[in-house]
Structure 1
Amino acid sequence: MQLDHYASFPTELPVIFEDGLFLYPFMISPLFLKDDENIAAVTYAIEHDSLVIVCPTKEGQEGERTLESIHDAGVIGSIMRKVSLPDGRVKVLFQGLARGKAMEARGEDPLRVLVDTIDPKPVNEIKMDAILEVVREKVRALSQVSNFFPPDLLRTIEETQEYNRIADLICSTVKLPKQRAYEMFVEADTEQRLLLLIDYLIEEIEASKLQREIRTKVNTKMEQINKEYFLKEQLKEIQQELGVDNQREEEIAEYRKQLEAMKEHMGEDAYKEISKQLDRYARLHPDSADAGMIQGYLEWVLEIPFGKLAKKALKIENVESQLDADHFSLEKPKKRISEFFAVKELMELRGKSAQKGGSAILCFAGPPGVGKTSLANSIATALKRPLVRIALGGLEDVNELRGHRRTYIGAMPGRVVQGIIDAKKMNPVVVLDEIDKVGMSHRGDPTAALLEILDPEQNSHFRDYFVNFDLDLSQVIFIATANDVGRIPAPLRDRMEFIGVSSYTPQEKFEIAKRYLLPQELKKHGLKKQEVTVSAPAMKELIHSYTREAGVRNLRRRIADIARKSAKMILEDPTLGKVSVTVKNLKEFMDKTVFEIEKTDNVNRVGVVNGLAWTAVGGDVLKIETIRIKGKGQMQLTGSLGEVMKESARIAMSVVKTQIDNGKVKVDHAIIPRTFKEQEEQTTLDASEVYKRYDLHIHVPDGATPKDGPSAGIAMSTAIASILSNKPVRAGIAMTGEVSLSGNVLPIGGLKEKLIAAHKAGMHTAIIPKKNYERDLDEIPDEVKEVVTIVPVERIEEVLKLTLLPE
């Protein structure tokens, strides 16, 4: 050890921190230093003619410069040369002399520690020679499977007899991990040190063998790939020389590539069917008819987005805010939609999948133009899912939904599969529009296919005839719309939950027009908001006198008329600047007035009653007119009445007869026709003679409009009682309700629309069945309840008492 002319050990030495290398004695190594602590240690050693100790930093603490960040052992050595580099670093040439151990700190700036040498323990030379031979054997074995040991180093290891020198040479060559190198470095027992080294060499030999085997396999694979590529390129050149088109081969290769990319996301039956058709296509001649058909099939099925889902997390707040932003009013439908998706969000948060059959399909039911489809659009926007709209109106061919079998020319997938392909996601929002207008014909019953599509128990294995394998539709959100729920087949209705979207009140229409329709139409027609203004009275007049509907579709058209005429006016007169629409000039923008509901004239009339009816475009006031003609008690009905209304009239006639017979309806005897003899004898006639000696004619204008429904019973009864008793009916009263043969008033449907119609017609009182009053009154808008007095009744006697004026 060349430490003789330095101070005796233990002694105080400055520390150089080494982040990368683990140095060993007898090594001369260049060190590149940039840390102030290391440079200060070198400067101190040169100025004081001192040795230094180079200590490696611990794993994970590189860059730290404290005593705790380094191993407590390192190489004691001297600085042979110091050179300052242009980039600020210092290069020193360090010569290792001995292994040393740092015991305690003695100074700072630079850090100095008390260092002692690690002196090897005495050894048994015979045993050590045997261990050393094993070490050399393992080194030779490792050199055959790795590039660690150059020939000169092997020769040095074979010829050297210093045990620790050989251990240092091998450790520095195989680049041990820091912790393991430290364990071998600090070991004073030479025998134990070599045994540890043998264990590591055995591990390294196995690892090198494995790496060599992997490299061999990789190289072989690469050679095979290169060979195949070379042969394919040769084949292409040969085909070009022969004039053969190789585009088809490239197409087949591309199809196979797409199929393999989607394999893990599709079902086994889908993969087998597509693979079978692809193999068949590869065997067919390009000019055969089947080749064109199969190619069309492959292009369709490989467009199906297997495994692609819209990933946005379901948040009920997003759904509610989107519905509120896009729709005014419709509180009940929006609340029900929020509840529907709240269940789905709760299931997702708790890591549960929706149970099969656990959630029904939503169906928005209501008149045209009330916002059924736009509700579905808002749901899709809130969920960040693509929207697919399938119009079912007039659909008669079941193959439009299930797909055409590939045996037919021009076969295509069904509309559902096409919608998923267009959406590019397997979980879009699919709107089944006008589901009540699906028809059955000789080409099948589309409702049967809809049963499978909409049934949560079945749609996870929906089979399209064209693709000929099962598709999972359970992730799709289906939303149906319908105008008339009664026209939907019962089995299909059973799979849906209906959300009624009813008529808008005039005030609701006004708010919708002001907030949504007018700004949207101005934008569509290239107009600025400040260029066209519609006053509030003009907008209300437009709603009241120029539209007849439950929704706002026609109102949108009328606003579009205003926008078009305004655009033309601005073009014709650039100085105009602004178009103002008021009640006075509204007629200049509209063609003609459409009186929606005739206002009541507040005149009490005999035999004329205001009934309330539900129509496809909302509610309406239905006048029922009755006259008596001398006859034999017959009854004539006109006005395009349906069978149900005709039965209501017959029941009403029987009910009134019973009321007359019981004396509950007082008859004016002066109106009963008398024979000449009865007049001479002044015979007292029974009240029942009034309906025996008169024929009644009941008419419901207008005659060209078909009318039917079970809600005209009390109105018919009031009209008949009025004409037979000769008592006028109070003006300003409208009524709706069915009557039983015993005189009970039965509940009806469409109450909201009917009461809105009564409000529009200026009625001050509306008579309704008591059960409807108890059950449906919360659905009636406040603006209607504030103006119209709603009276509940249970018996026909109550109705007649309220409606017929006393003598």
Structure 2
Amino acid sequence: MTTEIIQIPLLPLRGLLVFPSMVLHLDVGRDKSIASIERAMVEEEYIFLAAQKKGNIDDPQPEDIYTVGTVAKVKQMLKLPNGTNRVLVEGMYRGEIIRHIDIDDEYRVEVQKLDETKSEKNEIEALMRTLLDYFKQYVKVSRKITEDTFDTVGDIEEPGRLADIITSHISLKVQEKQKLLETLSINERIKKLLKIISNEKKVLDIEKKIGQRVKSSMEKTQKEYYLREQLKAIQKELGERDGKATDLDQLHSKIEKSDMPDHIRNVALKELGRYEKVPQSSAESSVIRNYIEWLVALPWQNRTKDTININKAEKVLNTDHYGLDKVKERILEYLAVQKLTNSIKGPILCLVGPPGVGKTSLANSISNSINRKFVRVSLGGVRDEAEIRGHRRTYIGAMPGRIMQGMKKAETINPVFLLDEIDKMSNDFRGDPSSAMLEVLDPEQNNTFSDHFIEETYDLSNVLFIATANNVSSIPEPLLDRMELISIAGYTEVEKLHIAKRHLIPKQLKENGLTKSKLQMRESALMKLIRRYTREAGVRGLERQIATLCRKAAKTLISDTTKERIIITEHTIEDYLGKPYFRYGLMEQEDQIGAATGLAYTSAGGDILSIEVSHYPGKGKLTLTGQLGDVMQESAQAAFSYVRSRTSHFHIEPDFYEKYDIHIHVPAGATPKDGPSAGITIATALVSSLTGRAIKKEVGMTGEITLRGRVLPIGGLKEKALSAHRAGLTTIIIPEENEKDIENIPESVRNDLTFIPVKHLDEVLEQALVEE
């Protein structure tokens, strides 16, 4: 060591270290550093290069800079467009800072030169050869150093310089290079460097091993896969557990805590073993994991305790729904049998009726009354069998069918499971979903239901299945055979009136921010709303119209602050909703010849139908108009044939069919009409026209006619009677076999109507025609 001391500028280096005999470019951007470089250039003196202990410090203090560094010569300085200066420096020898000189604009220090020491020639020669050999092996496995670099280094004969040059080419941290810079003994420095190179070579060998292992199991373009495998291999070498191991522990814990039976648990554990062996980035890995998650999520033994209380169930049904007495009675019978047998097995209920009559809400009420979870699955538009049975796991994106998805959502093995719109399923090339439903709804089979995705059998025998449909004819016979149909024909006007009062109006008042004191609707207004602004079997359209009234009332109350409340009457309702959308039939004002009043049943309830017959000179042509369906046309033909066969009895000219053309017309010609129940009405109008006898204006009739004049039963008597009562008729002629249906008609309507059961057309004519 020498005592030579010089005073020179200081250049602190960030993340970089310069050794003696090194020539390299430095980019300098800090003001003080630039000032130090400029002073060195001007005065042609040396500059001291020392590394900062922390690179993120912009204004380093003396304690932030290593004391040992390199005295260098500034060869060249070039100012760059971005404001920095590029400097070419050459390291000369090691030095140590003795004192920092405080200068505001630049760094300046007093530096003492440090001399290197070395031992005998033979030892240093041996160390140099070993160092070159190690470095050569390092170059072979390193991708950053070329063979030309090694050839250049191999020509260096000075041991200290050789060690410094090799150190500069190895990827080391600044702290490690600083230790080598501070080692003045060349022998010790080379020994430390040999140890470092040996460790670095081992790391490079492991990296190469990892690269080869990963490369054999992936394509070159899968960069993300490659990085993940590298991470996994590194973790394996370090003895660390990867993320998948944690995932495996969590899945195993879920399987053990699940309520699945032992044979299902064994399947899940077996799949967990497969999942552990499959690479995490593999597509199969996600499929297996998804399968295990489904096995864990499905309820296998968890169930809710049934609380079947018939009185409570009846109360819930009456609270939620007005009317539908027969439907409620059948549901209560069903629940009573379940309570006595302590078993849910039995017929599958299928609620059939038009839209908006409350089929779905009935099923929800059943679940509430027996304290079971409620699950609804819509089957409308389902065409694929896999929607019911699930996809096989060999397909990408495979998932269980809707039945298993519903059970997962229910979280119990005994929910109330609503199969909504079961009549809307159809089949195509992907299979027949209705056939797959056979196993679901068959009590003898569904205790071993097999989903293609789950594969293991699942017990559905504890599930209370309820189906809904609008049209029974579109349900396949085998599926229909497994269900008990409960028909919900629709609501009468009286029932709609009560539903509006009890449910719809309070609901819409609340949703629109109104109260009973703010908006009142008279009963006459509600009846007009039902008759003239809606035409439906259910109450959805009625609820929409009530909502419209509420909105308009709310607007009026806000805009006109003088009004405290609004009362809607039969006369003022048009101010809010405009002119009525529909009309309903009314009885004739006078007795008419050739015009009979029939009773019709539509999807929106009942209505009256006027049938007109006229005859005029011609050649016996029979004309039918009014957009009549095939069945109705056949009824007209049958009535015409019967009248021809009884001309003498009715005192009609025997050859009338040769002398006159007959025209039968049903008004409202734009509306399609069909059905056999207009048979006696057509025959009565035909006899009235040919005999000139008028038909009583207060009489309505319904019934099918045969060629022998017999009157056959019809359907929808309740709705037809309500329409007759609404139209002002007082007498209804009905088939004798429909006499049993009179008790289904509301008492208030029955008391105002006279029902005349008949078996033959002669009885009809006797009651309907005005006496001569």
| TM-score, L = length of structure 2 | 0.66
Change in 2 beyond 3 A, CA 1:728/1:395: farther
Secondary structure of the residue aligned to 1:453 is helix
- Matched-pair identity in %: 46
Alpha-carbon distance, 1:629 to partner: 4.2
Asked if structure 2 preserves the Cα contact closer than 8 Å seen for 1:368 and 1:616, the reply is no
2:284 is aligned with 1:290? yes
Distance 2:725 2:420 in 1: 32
Q: 1:734 aligns with which of 677, 680, 700?
A: 700
Q: Deviations over 1:441-495 (max 9, x none)?
A: 3332222122222221111122122222222111111112222333332222222
2:511 is matched with 524
CA separation of 1:696/1:323 partners in 2, compared to 1, >3 Å: closer, same or farther? same
Residues 402 and 449, structure 1, Cα contact 8 Å, conserved in 2: yes
Secondary structure of the equivalent of 2:462?
coil
Asked if structure 2 preserves the Cα contact closer than 8 Å seen for 1:606 and 1:729, the reply is yes
1-structure distance, mates of 2:667, 2:427: 34
Aligned pairs, number = 542
- SS state of the match for residue 787, structure 1? coil
In structure 1, distance between residues paired with 2:512 and 2:239: 58
What does residue 54 of structure 2 align with?
Answer: none
SS at match of 2:588: coil
Q: 1: distance between equivalents of 2:544 and 2:454?
A: 43
1:301 pairs with one of 295, 305, 310:
295
Q: Cα distance, 1:379 vs. partner? A: 0.9
1:394-793 alignment, distance < 5 Å: 394-574=381-561, 576-660=563-647, 663-667=648-652, 687-773=653-739, 775-793=740-758
In 2, distance between residues paired with 1:267 and 1:747? 60
In the TM superposition, residue 325 of structure 1 has moved relative to its aligned partner by: 1.3
- Alignment-derived partner of residue 227 in structure 1: none
Question: In the TM superposition, what is the alpha-carbon distance from 1:415 to its structure 2 partner?
Answer: 1.5
Conserved? CA contact 2:600–2:606, under 8 Å: yes
| One-letter amino acid of the counterpart of residue 731, structure 2 | T
Out of 247, 250, 264, the position equivalent to 1:251 is 247
- CA gap 1:697/1:244 in 2 versus in 1, 3 angstroms: farther
Say whether the 8 Å CA contact 2:585–2:607 is kept in structure 1: no
Contact 2:598 2:611 survives alignment (8 Å): yes
Give distance in 2, aligned partners of 1:800 and 1:444. 56
User: The residue matched to 1:308 in structure 2 has which SS?
Assistant: coil
1:236-262 Cα deviation digits (max 9, x unpaired):
998388597722222222222222333
Secondary structure, aligned partner of 2:649: coil
* Amino acid in the other structure paired with 2:690: L
Distance 2:765 2:351 in 1: 38
Q: What's the secondary structure of 2:485's corresponding residue?
A: strand
Question: Which secondary structure state, in structure 2, belongs to the residue aligned with residue 626 of structure 1?
Answer: strand
Distance change in 2, residues 1:367/1:783 (3 Å): farther
Q: CA deviation at 1:797?
A: 1.0
For residues 678-732 of structure 1, what are the alpha-carbon distances to aligned partners after superposition, in whole Å with 9 as ceiling and x for unaligned? xxxxxxxxx2211232232323333333322232221222222223333332223
Equivalents in 1 of 2:501, 2:588: separation in Å? 31
Pair 1:570–1:495, CA change in 2 (3 A): same
SS in 2 for 1:302: helix
Aligned residues of 1:502 and 1:753 also touching (Cα < 8 A): no
- Unmatched runs of 5 consecutive residues or more in structure 2: 1-230
Change (3 A) 1:734 1:309: same
The answer for the alignment partner of 1:332 in structure 2 is 326
CA positional deviation for 1:529: 3.4
Residue 698 of structure 1 aligns to a residue whose secondary structure is strand
The secondary structure found in structure 2 opposite 1:767 is: strand
Instruction: Indicate the residue corresponding to 1:797 in structure 2.
Output: 762
Structure 1 contact 738–748 (Cα < 8 Å) conserved: yes
Letter in 2 for 1:665: F
Q: Is this contact kept in 1: 2:384–2:432, CA < 8 A?
A: yes
TM-score (norm 1): 0.64
Structure 1, unpaired ranges of 5+: 1-234, 668-686
Q: Are the structure 2 counterparts of residues 767 and 398 from structure 1 closer, same or farther at C-alpha, using a change threshold of 3 Å?
A: farther
Q: CA deviation digits over 1:567-598, x for unaligned, max 9?
A: 22233345533332223321222133133422
For the 8 Å contact 1:631–1:695, the answer to whether it is kept is yes
Rate the CA distance shift 1:574–1:282 in 2: closer, same or farther, 3 A: farther
In structure 2, do the counterparts of structure 1 residues 519 and 715 end up closer, same or farther at CA, with 3 Å as the change threshold? same
Is the contact made by 1:316 and 1:345 (CA closer than 8 Å) also made in structure 2? Answer: no
Q: Tell me: CA distance 1:763–1:396, structure 2 relative to 1, closer, same or farther (3 Å).
A: farther
The one-letter code matched in structure 2 to 1:415 is R
- 691-700 or 378-387, which deviates more: 691-700
Q: Shift in Å at residue 344 of structure 1?
A: 0.8
CA–CA separation in structure 2 for the residues paired with 1:258 and 1:693 = 91
Asked if 2 retains the 8 angstrom alpha-carbon contact of 1:483 and 1:616, the reply is no
Letter in 1 for 2:755: I
Secondary structure (helix, strand or coil) at the match of 2:293 reads helix
| Alpha-carbon offset, residue 791 of structure 1 | 1.1
SS at match of 1:664: helix
Q: CA RMSD in A?
A: 2.5
Relative distance call for 1:708 and 1:411 in structure 2 (3 A) is farther
After superposition, the Cα gap between the structure-2 partners of 1:653 and 1:573, relative to the gap in structure 1 and judged at 3 Å, is same
The 1-side partners of 2:471 and 2:685 are apart by 30
Aligned-partner SS, 2:398: coil
Cα distance in 1 for partners of 2:708, 2:232 equals 94
Give the direction of change, closer, same or farther, for the CA distance of 1:328–1:732 in structure 2 (3 Å limit): same
Amino acid in structure 2 at the alignment position of 1:777:
I
In 2, the alpha carbon distance for the partners of 1:502 and 1:542 equals 21
Moved over 6 A (4+): 235-238
Q: Distance in 2 between matches of 1:298 and 1:591?
A: 61
Match of 1:188 in 2: none
Distance 2:711 2:239 in 1: 90
* Change beyond 3 A, Cα 1:436–1:697: farther
Determine if contact 2:373/2:416 at 8 Å carries over to the other structure: yes
